Chains A and B, each alone.
Chain A
Amino acid sequence: MDEGEFARLQKAVHDARRPLNRITMQSELIKLALEGAVPKEKALTALDKIIAGSKDCSDSLSELVAQFSPDANDEGSPTE
């Protein structure tokens, strides 16, 4: 893997980490709701955000695979 490819990989992983952070934080919010520290309605919203975050993460990973697939390399431009 050359430097350019590695930079692209780093960016893709960073993009995937963003929804993971969202999932983690919203999970913490649900824990607080279960402990009674925040209203339970917030937990429901948080669960929706977790589902959305999981989909985003899945999309990011699919995109990552697409970028680094041999077909993409054959075309000479793994990012496009």
Chain B
Amino acid sequence: MLTVLLVDDDAEFTDVACTIIEFLGHEVLTASTLAEAREWLSKESFDHILLDFMLPDGSGLHLMESLQPEQNTRVTLITGHPSVKGIIKDMCGPNIDYLVKPIQREDLESVLQGKKQPSSKRSTTAITKHFGQLIGESAPMQELYKLIGRVSKTKANVMLLGESGVGKEVVAAAIHEASDCEGTYVATNCGAFSKELIGSELFGHEKGAFTGAVGRKEGVFEQAENGTLFLDEITEMPIDMQPNLLRVLENKVVIRVGGTKAMPVNCRVVSATNRSMEEIAESKVLREDIYFRLAVFPITIPPLRERKEDIPLLAEHFINQLNEENGSQFRWQPVQLEKLQTYDWPGNVRELRHFVHRAAIMSDPEGTEIELPKTIESPFAKKQTLSTGLKAGRTIEEVEKELIYATLEKVDGNKTTAAEMLGISTKTLYNRLHAYGDLNSDSE
């Protein structure tokens, strides 16, 4: 809440302006002459003065002499002459703004918020978003931009490989952005659907095709017509569903579940997995024919630890986003950015983003300083450092949790492989991770 002094001799204007300013949550006092305004200034301190340029006993500018510089009061001059604003602009210091009548509520709202605007704008440095999506100027990212630029000019299907959290979906969106295609970008996660539902998700279904199919539904292939279809966690797709996908990729037609009509589809398929190519070949989670259809142009996205010079840019971008969302003014200190660069970020960009978010929540919202936790650690990295082996006195639950995380770490977070190694079903693994609170909806 600000304390505002409104100086204007137009009683009707003052009356309505006061109503609006109070509605905006500020306290407001009024003066109709320079003399009255001076009297208020001698008794009270104000965050903001809205000042009519022409007052009965002189120009509003004379009031400037009565302001105490240390109070840092912002002044907005109100004028009915647009030509005057040029003169004011030249005279104005950083704390002086102007409004030209007629004035709306939004104008008042904007100038009264102005106290925070200049500093937050200053802190926003220009960060280039390549293809409207990607941040980073490091050599591995430049190489990635080159590949995206090349493949976007073709219609080839792309397979994105990279660890969990590197931003595979962001790269897929960048490819779509760079493609200049007419259709939309549609994303779906092949690991998120049961065997029964994935057919309907991908190819759609006709009304009455199965229990619960109360209406006709378009599949993602149809939705992405002339655009880009992103199939995340492609290697988690049930193997017996893969021939259906292959048929669509080869023939470029889909038949909705429960339907008979073949419909032509035309979209680029960008798929993604956090398994390496060798692992895909060895583990046989993806049929070879499908792999060659999907990975016409494979792109490996570098992990964050291999492009640490991009960490300050990313951290800056995330904090700017949070500042914009919450009206805060947090700013990184150079030493803090250096500290962020010393960590390996096993959860990659996603982990960094969550970390910045947590730090912003922990910090004083009225200040500019970001409070970093003493240590940076993720549940995945922690398991390596905290592993104490088998000792009497530990519960089975503790050991089980440690074993699950150690296995996930070993297989780069791949849940299907981890579940196989642990001798449990993928569902059980997901249930355990949910119980530990380490699995969220955007997990890769």
**Smallest CB separation, A3 vs chain B (Å):** 13
For the complex of A and B, the 6 pairs showing the least CB-CB separation, nearest first, are A24-B102, A21-B101, A21-B102, A25-B16, A28-B105, A20-B102
Judge if A58 is at the interface, Cβ distance under 8 Å: no
- A20–B101 touching, CB < 8 Å: yes
Contacts of A14 in B (CB 8 A): 80-81
Contacts of B16 in A (CB 8 A): 25-26, 28-29, 46
Please measure, in the bound complex, the distance between the C-alpha atom of A9 and the C-alpha atom of B12, giving whole angstroms.
Answer: 25
Q: Which residues of A are interface residues toward B (Cβ below 8 A)?
A: 10, 14, 17-18, 20-26, 28-29, 31-32, 37-38, 46, 49
Task: Show 22 A/B contacts (Cβ-Cβ < 8 Å), sorted by A.
Answer: A10-B81, A14-B80, A14-B81, A17-B101, A17-B102, A18-B80, A18-B101, A20-B102, A21-B13, A21-B80, A22-B13, A23-B102, A24-B102, A25-B17, A26-B16, A28-B20, A28-B104, A29-B19, A32-B19, A32-B23, A37-B23, A49-B12
Can you list, as one digit per residue, whether each of B1-35 has a CB less than 8 Å from chain A (1) or not (0)? Answer: 00000000000110011011001000000000000
Which single member of B13, B23, B83 contacts A25 (CB below 8 Å)?
A: B13
Please measure, in the bound complex, the distance between the C-alpha atom of A57 and the C-alpha atom of B19, giving whole angstroms.
Answer: 24
Closest residue on chain A to residue B14 by CB atoms = A25
For chain B, the bracket of interface size reads 10 to 19
Q: Which residues of B are interface residues toward A (Cβ below 8 A)?
A: 12-13, 16-17, 19-20, 23, 80-81, 83, 101-105
- A38–B80 touching, CB < 8 Å: no
Closest residue on chain B to residue A17 by CB atoms = B80
- A25–B81 touching, CB < 8 Å: no
Closest residue on chain B to residue A11 by CB atoms = B81
Contacts of B102 in A (CB 8 A): 17, 20-21, 23-25
Which single member of B13, B17, B19 contacts A38 (CB below 8 Å)?
A: B19
Which single member of B23, B81, B83, B103 contacts A24 (CB below 8 Å)?
A: B103
Contacts of B23 in A (CB 8 A): 32, 37-38
Q: Apart from A24-B104, A37-B23, what 11 extra A-B contacts exist at CB < 8 Å? A: A14-B80, A14-B81, A21-B101, A24-B102, A25-B16, A25-B102, A28-B104, A29-B19, A29-B20, A38-B23, A49-B12
Please measure, in the bound complex, the distance between the C-alpha atom of A14 and the C-alpha atom of B29, giving whole angstroms.
Answer: 27
**Smallest CB separation, A44 vs chain B (Å):** 14
Please measure, in the bound complex, the distance between the C-alpha atom of A25 and the C-alpha atom of B83, giving whole angstroms.
Answer: 22
Please measure, in the bound complex, the distance between the C-alpha atom of A12 and the C-alpha atom of B12, giving whole angstroms.
Answer: 21
Please measure, in the bound complex, the distance between the C-alpha atom of A21 and the C-alpha atom of B19, giving whole angstroms.
Answer: 15
Query: Among A14, A17, A25, A46, which residue has the most Cβ atoms of chain B within 10 A?
Result: A25
Contacts of A28 in B (CB 8 A): 16, 20, 104-105
Please measure, in the bound complex, the distance between the C-alpha atom of A21 and the C-alpha atom of B102, giving whole angstroms.
Answer: 4
Contacts of A20 in B (CB 8 A): 101-102
Please measure, in the bound complex, the distance between the C-alpha atom of A31 and the C-alpha atom of B16, giving whole angstroms.
Answer: 12
Closest residue on chain A to residue B17 by CB atoms = A25
Query: Among A18, A23, A24, which residue has the most Cβ atoms of chain B within 10 A?
Result: A24
Please measure, in the bound complex, the distance between the C-alpha atom of A18 and the C-alpha atom of B9, giving whole angstroms.
Answer: 13
Query: Among A17, A28, A38, A46, which residue has the most Cβ atoms of chain B within 10 A?
Result: A28
Contacts of A24 in B (CB 8 A): 101-104
**Smallest CB separation, B164 vs chain A (Å):** 47
Please measure, in the bound complex, the distance between the C-alpha atom of A49 and the C-alpha atom of B15, giving whole angstroms.
Answer: 13
Please measure, in the bound complex, the distance between the C-alpha atom of A29 and the C-alpha atom of B83, giving whole angstroms.
Answer: 28
Query: Among B12, B16, B105, which residue has the most Cβ atoms of chain A within 10 A?
Result: B16
